[in-house]
Structure 1
């Protein structure tokens, strides 16, 4: 069973050791970078980012990092959640874990853990066809915007 577990002293090093396939390296920041970013945000922002280890039973197989924006903070002038990192370790890709884990991520977002929202935003490298297909299968629609060279997609909640 797929679960999202808070990053703890027991699993943070496992999260850092997770890797995507070599051909995917340009598509996502390292988990070490993401956890460092999360730490800085925790110390400086009103709401901390939401970082989770993606687990299959007790085994860490992936990582996700999300955030909440008010309408004033958002680039899109609406209360929203953002998924800025989502990855499944190379050893677990192609086995359906990504789809199950992403469903869990959206399930969590729909509980509005840091406040109300009308949408979810994410972005992905334009050559990352696997990510595009996964996100589209959940109803994400490309907005036509490009952010830091990545395609932006939106899901209405």
Structure 2
């Protein structure tokens, strides 16, 4: 599993990746996520996006962030904002590999020190919950207006 920069060469294939019809209610399109990343970065947020490859095959997309804790939060954190594996490659353990790689990436503290890794997910998304629980993410009790639950992992 390898995280690669999104470039002109892989941009279109990346936005064409799709989740299953059932999963579309849990996650926005990659095109939408990249537009959000552009705006967030323009507003000074530290957004990290990668195309996900298994060997030489593009299998997914991840959007992460770093918050240094100087804003509205009590401590610094890395987070997974969006992660998806294309429907053609699901069920092969890639989602779990991606989370492991993201945690390993966070633990190198590439943008600065951080106390936790955090993420949110729809509580009805049993597959996501199972993956996050397996790495030790713990629900904090916070629930977003969207109904997504917040979970953290101490780095």
Check whether the contact 1:74–1:80 (CA below 8 A) recurs between aligned residues: no
Check if 1:146 corresponds to 2:143.
yes
Check whether the contact 2:46–2:67 (CA below 8 A) recurs between aligned residues: no
Q: What residue in structure 1 maps to residue 36 of structure 2?
A: 37
SS in 2 for 1:115: coil
Check if 1:109 corresponds to 2:102.
no
Seen in structure 2, the aligned counterparts of structure 1 residues 74 and 135 have a Cα distance that, compared at 3 Å, is farther
Specify which of 49, 52, 68 is matched with residue 51 of structure 1: 49
Compute the TM-score of the two structures, normalised by the length of structure 1: 0.94
1:10-21 mapped onto 2 (5 Å cutoff): 10-21=9-20
1:68-107 mapped onto 2 (5 Å cutoff): 68-75=66-73, 77-107=74-104
Give the Å deviation of 1:73: 2.2
SS in 2 for 1:49: strand
Q: Which runs of 5+ in 2 are unaligned?
A: none
Give the Å deviation of 1:72: 2.6
> d(CA) in 1 for partners of 2:36 and 2:116?
23
Give the Å deviation of 1:74: 4.7
Check whether the contact 2:50–2:61 (CA below 8 A) recurs between aligned residues: yes
Q: CA RMSD in A?
A: 1.1
Q: Which runs of 5+ in 1 are unaligned?
A: none
> d(CA) in 1 for partners of 2:63 and 2:124?
21
Compute the TM-score of the two structures, normalised by the length of structure 2: 0.95
Alignment deviations for residues 85-140 of structure 1 (CA, whole Å, 9 cap, x no partner)? 01101110001111112111111111111110010110001100000000010110
For this pair of structures, how many residues does the alignment match? Answer: 154
